[in-house]
Amino acid sequence: MSHPQPVSIGRTSVPHPLDPLTAVEIASARAVLASAGLLGDTVRVPMLLPDEPTKDELAAWKPGAPIDRRVDVTLLDTATGVATEVIVSITRGEVLRTERVPNDAPPYGQPQYLFEEYERAEAIAKASPEWRAAMKRRGLEEHIDLAFCGPLAPGYTGRADEVGRRVIRSLTFLKYDEDDSPWAHPVEGLIVHIDLTANSVIRVEDIGDVPVPAGHGNYRPEVQGEARTTLKPIEITQPQGPSFSATGSLVEWENWSMRVDFNAREGLVLHDVTFDGRSVLSRASVPEMVVPYGDTAPGRFWISYFDAGEYLLGKNANHLELGCDCLGVIRYLDGYVADDHGNPVRIPNVICMHEEDYGILWKHTELSGRSDVRRSRRFVVSYFSTIGNYDYGFYWHFYLDGSIEVTAKATGIVFAAAGEPGVPQKHATELAPGVFAPVHQHLFCARLDVAVDGEDNRLVEVDAQRIPMGPDNPFGNAFTWSETTLATESAAQRDADTSVARTWAVQSASRTNRVGRPTAYHLVPEPTALLMADPASSVAARATFATKHLWATRHEAGQIWPAGRYPNAHQGGAGLPAYSAGDRSLDGEDIVLWHTFGLTHFPRPEDWPIMPVDHAGFWFKPYGFLDQNPAMDVPESSQAHGTRDAAGGGCGAACTCGH
């Protein structure tokens, strides 16, 4: 069978202010920077993002009108460490603003890593006499050439010899041949601290002498053995094509409409999400995540990766493969990011859009035997990003019943250290003999600029509520619910509570449904541990967003980053704590929700040598937004290809039977 060819969407003849940046625009921005003299030989581009139009600009814009397309660039002079933020108007061909980043003074904060710095860090580590001596002392001299020196963001330790400098830490892993997976062979206790501006080693720590685990961690079929032959093919066919359409960045599927966008930092961004022509979300993304490690070892206590803010999720996004990453009739969106020199790089097929059958949508069988059933379907927009050893997928699912489900997927290679085989550790689990994986968390922050029937919204916490047995509850069975308006930014810093089925309602402040209640969507969290680090820890200051399941702020242009613009080597306090410091009113305002969700990972042997996808997420569900089930007009399935399994059972062709 053959699938229709994938179609890339992108800019068409109907440009919109929220369209993603194109290669031509990135190249034009670079030309403006160059002609303004801002791109000297040693200047690099750690981050180049669209400078999105303000809501006022969007409201004033009419289709066909000129658009002032701008980019927001961070420049780094790698020779001096001086960083500069620049706003460029591509349309006008001019630099609108430049501002020095005060990264040499508290609270510090370094621009995102350049790809070239990973190679530079490895070269610096390997050239270091102390590192070579440590390898020799450990009897690992013969492995020096093939060794992998993994470059890691340093966290913030307050050490005088690194504060305010552009630091990267290097941990060493062995490779026994070119194709070997280095993550299985950690050289325990060998840490090289590198100053990327001075191109020098600050310190080499060489602690302990744990043997390097020898067992391989290779997951390739050449090593793992023949693939099984028992799985019969599953083919997804949509002979009439998909039910969605894409015109430029505008994507429409059933009652849903949205603008699909992509940038180097957040990856996938959705704008102007509407259901039945009514606004639900103004802008939605997962703009930050943190992976804090819970180990006291010198090589790990500082590990707390901010994969968006330090490494850039979008710049590291995957080129997806038809039939492997995505099944069925797929439409892809190419993405464009800037490389270290500010030149455009195309990431083909970076965003995947497709439909999935999703089991039963609704169903009932009457006493008479009459049965009605409708099949559920969802529209999926997704991308994947690889940051070092881990791979993250971000999936936005839109359902026929008006619900949105956001899922983050974690897979890839678990980060491991070496220990004495069979000797239990307090902060790490043994995955394979001598391979110990530290406990850690993957905590994501979704940013939902909500617009439930417009921007004037109200945030209400809804809890199931017990009633003591007594006059109000004579039989003890009764319960009710409570609604608490979270009217300010401080009041809106909340924890989830599964014991009372807590949800957070975003209500329209002006529109009601047919039973007289405010139209609303509920954020339905799934159980997630919050940041396990102590409140007094460095990581708690830097990832304060992850200490609460919910934050809400009044919308303000530019407030996009939960841990601030430069979480790398930052002391803390940036992002959400700073955004909400003014304790603004949220009552009837343009509200932004920030939701922490994720995984607390006690790695298991089954996560080795490669981790099966684990996932975490949340729902955003209509609650009185609609006057009834919006999927009553979904037709019965006319699945012509369904076949009864030879062993009996299953549902036959042209299923209308419901059994």
Comparing CB distances to Cu ion, the nearer of 143 and 601 is 601
Minimum CB distance to Cu ion, residue 280 (Å)? 32
Minimum CB distance to Cu ion, residue 124 (Å)? 28
Q: Is 364 exposed, middle or buried (0-12, 13-18, 19+ CB in 10 A)?
A: exposed
Comparing CB distances to Cu ion, the nearer of 108 and 392 is 392
Comparing CB distances to Cu ion, the nearer of 165 and 601 is 601
CA distance 113 to 111: 7
497 is catalytic: no
The residue sitting closest to Cu ion, measured at its beta carbon, is 601
Asked if residue 434 lies in contact with residue 215, where contact means CB atoms within 8 angstroms, the answer is yes
Of 390, 392, 579, 623, the catalytic one is 390
Comparing CB distances to Cu ion, the nearer of 604 and 644 is 604
- Give Cα separations from 276 to 358, 514, 581 (angstroms): 21, 16, 36
Cα torsion 464, 470, 471, 473 to 10°: value is: 30
Minimum CB distance to Cu ion, residue 376 (Å)? 30
DSSP 108-161: EEEPPPPHHHHHHHHHHHHH-HHHHHHHHHTT-GGGTTT-EEEEE-------TT
Residue type, 224: Q
Comparing CB distances to Cu ion, the nearer of 259 and 601 is 601
Minimum CB distance to Cu ion, residue 410 (Å)? 6
Which DSSP state fits 238?
A: -
CA distance 95 to 7: 35
- Give 653's contacts (C-beta < 8 A, 6+ positions apart): 639, 640, 641, 642, 643, 644
Report the SS3 class of residue 645.
coil
The encoded tokens of residue 382 equal 């997704």
Comparing CB distances to Cu ion, the nearer of 166 and 601 is 601
Comparing CB distances to Cu ion, the nearer of 442 and 549 is 442
Minimum CB distance to Cu ion, residue 386 (Å)? 14
Of 307, 449, 453, 590, the catalytic one is 307
| Strand-by-strand arrangement of the 404-412 sheet | 7-9, 331-338, 344-365, 371-387, 390-399, 404-412, 611-622, 518-525, 503-512, 457-466, 479-485
Minimum CB distance to Cu ion, residue 437 (Å)? 8
390 is catalytic: yes
DSSP 34-58: HHTT---TTEEEEEEEE-PPPHHHH
302: left (phi over 0), alpha (psi -120 to 50) or beta: alpha
Contact residues toward Cu ion (CB under 5 A) are 601
The encoded tokens of residue 543 equal 């990832």
Q: How many residues does the chain have?
A: 659
Minimum CB distance to Cu ion, residue 619 (Å)? 23
Supply the residues annotated as catalytic: 307, 390
